[in-house]
Amino acid sequence: MLKQLNRLALDADGRYATASELAFLKDYLATIEPRISAYQKIREEGEIMADKIQARQKAQNVNCFTFNNQDQSSICRRDLVNAIRLSATAVLFGELDLLRDNFLLWYRTIVKAFNYENMARSTYGKILPELMKALLDPAENKVTQPVLQLNASILSD
């Protein structure tokens, strides 16, 4: 949304924007209420979701946060909380490109470097979408799906 608004401001400089140039804005504004309410719910429940995800990860593999014989659960939690927060922001603003370019591609490098692909596949392909579905109503889930699908596709490959 922000990128599109910036582009519109540049493209329409010195003239009025056309109806087709404004279409994305109408589409976005039609979904603003579920975007805001989804963002607020995720903001309120983000830490709890992180707790639930880490508990399920530990249940699957008690050593899942151990790297080089050291417990790295606090670092993993920080990254998970960031992923949830940045995903909520992407839902709010409809900014998939910024999420992908500014976080997910970097985070994928970390996931691969620590051989965390199976856990990321479980987290972003299954557990987080399940928790979101339980937390959000159908309209909120609808605006959240593109972000969750992007997370899963980049972090689970």
Do residues 21 and 38 share a domain? no
Name the pTM for this structure: 0.90
What is each CA distance from 94 to 3, 42, 50, 87, in whole angstroms?
10, 15, 23, 10
25-83 per-position pLDDT tens digit: 999 999 999 999 999 999 999 999 999 999 999 998 888 888 888 988 999 999 999 99
- Domain co-membership, 63 together with 105: yes
Same-domain pairing of 58 and 17 = no
- Which residues are bridge partners to 70 per DSSP? 67
Residues 55 and 66 in one domain: yes
In this structure, the answer to whether residues 59 and 132 fall within a common structural domain is yes
- pLDDT tens profile 103-140: 999 999 999 998 889 899 999 999 999 999 999 999 99
User: What's the domain range around 4?
Assistant: 1-30
